[in-house]
Structure 1
Amino acid sequence: MAQYWYNVETHQVEKDAQSGWRSLIGPYESREEAEGALAKVRERNEAADALDQDEDDAE
Structure 2
Amino acid sequence: MSKKDWGIDDPQETYWFNTHTGQVEVGPQSLAVDRLGPFATREEAERANEIVAERAKAWADEDAAED
- Which SS does the other structure have where 2:28 is aligned? coil
Note the residue ranges of structure 1 that are not aligned, 5 or more in a row: none
Task: Give yes or no for the alignment of 1:31 onto 2:42.
Answer: yes
Identical amino acids, percent of aligned pairs? 43
Whole-angstrom CA distance in 2 between matches of 1:55 and 1:24: 31
Instruction: Determine which structure has more spread, i.e. the larger CA radius of gyration.
Output: 1
Q: What one-letter code is carried by the residue in structure 2 that aligns with 1:14?
A: E
Instruction: Please state how far the C-alpha of 1:2 moved relative to its aligned partner.
Output: 2.6
Structure-1-length-normalised TM-score: 0.77
Q: Which residue of 2 aligns with 1:9?
A: 20
Aligned-residue Cα RMSD (Å) equals 1.4
Q: How many aligned residue pairs are there?
A: 56
Higher-strand-fraction structure: 1
Aligned pair partner of 2:32 in 15, 21, 26: 21
Note the residue ranges of structure 2 that are not aligned, 5 or more in a row: 1-11
Structure-2-length-normalised TM-score: 0.70
